[in-house]
Amino acid sequence: MVVPVGESVTLRQTVTYAVREALSGAGEPVVHFVAPVAWHDIGDVAAGVREETEMLLERVAVWAREDGDDDLVVETTVIGADTYLFGPDDYARVIATYADDSGIERVVVDPQYSPGGNVPILRPMEAALAERGLVVDEAPVDRPTRRGRLLRRGGALQFATLFGISFLFYQLLGGFAGTRFDVATGAVSATLVAAMLHRVTFTDRLGLRTLGRRLVRLVAYVPYLLYEIVVSNLRVAYVILHPSLPIEPRMIETECAVWGGMPLTLLANSITLTPGTLTVRVHGRRMMVHTLTPAAREGLFDGALERAVRFVFYGRPALAVATPRERDDARIVEDDDGADGGETVVSGPAGGDA
Amino acid sequence: MDVTPLEVAVVGFLLGGVFFTFVTAVGVIRLPDVYARAHTASQTDTLGAGLTLIAVALVLGLETTTVKTVLLVAFIFVTNPTAAHAIARAAHEEDIEPWREDR
């Protein structure tokens, strides 16, 4: 059987259950523990995640050997490292692919398993796995499960951070008057905000150092974005005021080299914010962007914004990643014909050679 | 009549803001389809409102209201792409083909 694992309070019990089931079943007792991860091999975040995951798998293997006997075969693997895992379907896909490759039909799930951070994706993931013809089975664990609610992992630190930010913002709007009324109402509001939202606001478990570095790099990013906005504004203004309106709108599709919800959002919004490029659809890392002029298109193919966003989140090593043009990750969408040439529809004497 | 450098800057920023807002108005009329018009709408929101609000901040000087003005710009910069994306996405879901100059 396959057991997807991640940090959870009931992981130990799940391992025991899986091992017992494997030993009591017919045939050779084999348990595959797989850890689906969504990282990419760049930057300061990835190294930590990789190490953590490998340590988790080692721990699980030790537990499994404790519970099992000499016949038990334990396999541990990290899966999904080369793709972008976003929703329940993505997780189900990599797990099902692994199961198919190993000829396994049964999946045992830890009821507290939460690969999506604060986003509850366990139940849809189970449904997606069942849809792919796998037998899905939740490990019976003592601890009551709290699924269905949006909460997990919210702690005192999250509460304090959110309270601090809300309180400061409240005082800022009040002009730091410092009156007793302002302080009291600010504290009440900030407490309410923090109490309601501290479990859902922070989705990534990031260290203070990573967070601080990202903030510094974000501050450096803003002037750059403003510069890009001014330049593209002038370009679009020129095109619009030009008597012949020299526009060549094209839809382009690009596979962005950024990973995760926040980086993608920042990139998609920055693209839309600069006139001349407009994000139309986002599917995972695949973006459809409407471009107004060839110049805007070139900018996107050269990936300057993408590189800057990568820098904000992953630091200097991320600058070395190739541009979308070099990666062959960006192309102009030519209608439903699906042809790649530029002249699919232009009727001419040379037609019919496709 | 005395004109201080500050007033020159304020008028300059205001004119810039008015210029880009005007360009958007022209663009919305001249551009051919919903996607192209969404491009020019972000001009008003970014530089049109941005430059105008900079002028406002300069007039106000160092004050709490100035901070709020800057926050306004920040919020516009977050909400503009969201709205533009929502419109473009809706258009795409309705299978609206982007206009092209060659057909």
Task: Report pLDDT digits (tens) over A261-293.
Answer: 788 889 999 999 998 899 998 877 788 999 999
Largest CA distance in chain B: 59
Q: What is the C-alpha end-to-end distance of chain B, expressed in Å?
A: 57
Asked whether residue A346 is domain-assigned, the answer is no
HSE-CB for A88 with a 13 A CA cutoff:
17
Q: What is the C-alpha end-to-end distance of chain A, expressed in Å?
A: 49
Chain A partners within 8 Å of B97 (Cβ): 335
Name the residue of chain A whose CA is nearest to B51's CA.
Answer: A230
Which of the pair, A71 or A42, is modelled with greater confidence? A71
Looking at residue A119, its pLDDT comes to: 58
Range from A45-54, A148-157, A333-342 carrying the lowest mean pLDDT: A333-342
Among candidate residues A197, A222, A248, the one where a domain is terminated: A197
Round to whole Å and give the CA distance between A124 and A119.
Answer: 11
Looking at residue B51, its pLDDT comes to: 92
Could you tell me if A60 and A7 lie in one domain? yes
Contact B24, B44 (CB under 8 A): yes
ipTM: 0.90
Mean pLDDT of B84-94: 91
Q: Highest mean pLDDT: which of A36-50, A174-188, A336-350? A: A174-188
Could you tell me if A41 and A13 lie in one domain? yes
Looking at residue A159, its pLDDT comes to: 86
Could you tell me if A223 and A116 lie in one domain? no
Could you tell me if A134 and A255 lie in one domain? no
Mean pLDDT of A183-212: 82
Q: Nearest by CB to A275, which of B40, B85, B103?
A: B40
Asked whether residue A350 is domain-assigned, the answer is no
Looking at residue A153, its pLDDT comes to: 58
Looking at residue A347, its pLDDT comes to: 32
Asked whether residue A86 is domain-assigned, the answer is yes
Range from A10-19, A134-143, B89-98 carrying the lowest mean pLDDT: A134-143
Contact A240 B89 (CB under 8 A): no
Write down the mean pLDDT value for chain B: 89
Could you tell me if A244 and A166 lie in one domain? no
The token pair at A211 is 């967070």
Looking at residue A34, its pLDDT comes to: 86
Write down the mean pLDDT value for chain A: 79
Asked whether residue A286 is domain-assigned, the answer is yes
Q: Within an 8 Å CB–CB cutoff, is residue A269 touching chain B?
A: yes
The residues facing A107 across adjacent strands are A2, A136
10 Å Cβ neighbour count for A96?
19
Asked whether residue A147 is domain-assigned, the answer is no
CA A212 from centroid of its chain's CA atoms: 20
Could you tell me if A66 and A162 lie in one domain? no
Q: Cβ contacts of residue B67 below 8 Å, gap of 6+?
A: A172
Contact B43 A173 (CB under 8 A): no
- Residues from B in contact with A at Cβ < 8 Å: 19-20, 23, 26-27, 30-33, 35-36, 38-40, 42-43, 46-47, 64, 67-68, 77-78, 80-82, 84-85, 88-89, 91-92, 97-103
Range of the domain at A254: 208-332
Chain B partners within 8 Å of A171 (Cβ): none
Could you tell me if A129 and A47 lie in one domain? yes
Contact A245 B77 (CB under 8 A): no
The token pair at A308 is 């800057």
Name the residue of chain A whose CA is nearest to B68's CA.
Answer: A173
The residues facing A4 across adjacent strands are A34
Asked whether residue A285 is domain-assigned, the answer is yes
Could you tell me if A116 and A56 lie in one domain? yes
Q: Within an 8 Å CB–CB cutoff, is residue A293 touching chain B?
A: no
Asked whether residue A9 is domain-assigned, the answer is yes
Chain B partners within 8 Å of A248 (Cβ): 100-101
Round to whole Å and give the CA distance between A286 and B89.
Answer: 14
Chain A partners within 8 Å of B81 (Cβ): 268-273, 279
| Residue A219 distance to chain B (closest CA, Å) | 13
Tally of structural domains, chain A? 3
Q: Within an 8 Å CB–CB cutoff, is residue A230 touching chain B?
A: yes
For residue B47, give Cα distances in angstroms to A197, A271, A343, B43, B103: 34, 15, 36, 6, 33
Could you tell me if A232 and A187 lie in one domain? no
The token pair at A132 is 């792919």
Contact A11, A5 (CB under 8 A): yes
Q: How many helices (H) and strands (E) does chain B have?
A: 4, 0
In the structure, what pLDDT confidence band is assigned to residue A148 with cuts at 50, 70 and 90?
A: very low
Answer yes or no: is pLDDT of A320 > 70. yes
Could you tell me if A69 and A131 lie in one domain? yes
In the structure, what pLDDT confidence band is assigned to residue B13 with cuts at 50, 70 and 90?
A: very high
Asked whether residue A351 is domain-assigned, the answer is no
Answer yes or no: is pLDDT of A310 > 80. yes
Q: Cβ contacts of residue A307 below 8 Å, gap of 6+?
A: A318, A319, A321, A323
Could you tell me if A230 and A316 lie in one domain? yes
Phi, psi of A41 (to 5 degrees): -75, 35
Mean pLDDT of A108-135: 78
CATH number of the domain enclosing A54: 3.40.50.620
Could you tell me if A181 and A274 lie in one domain? no
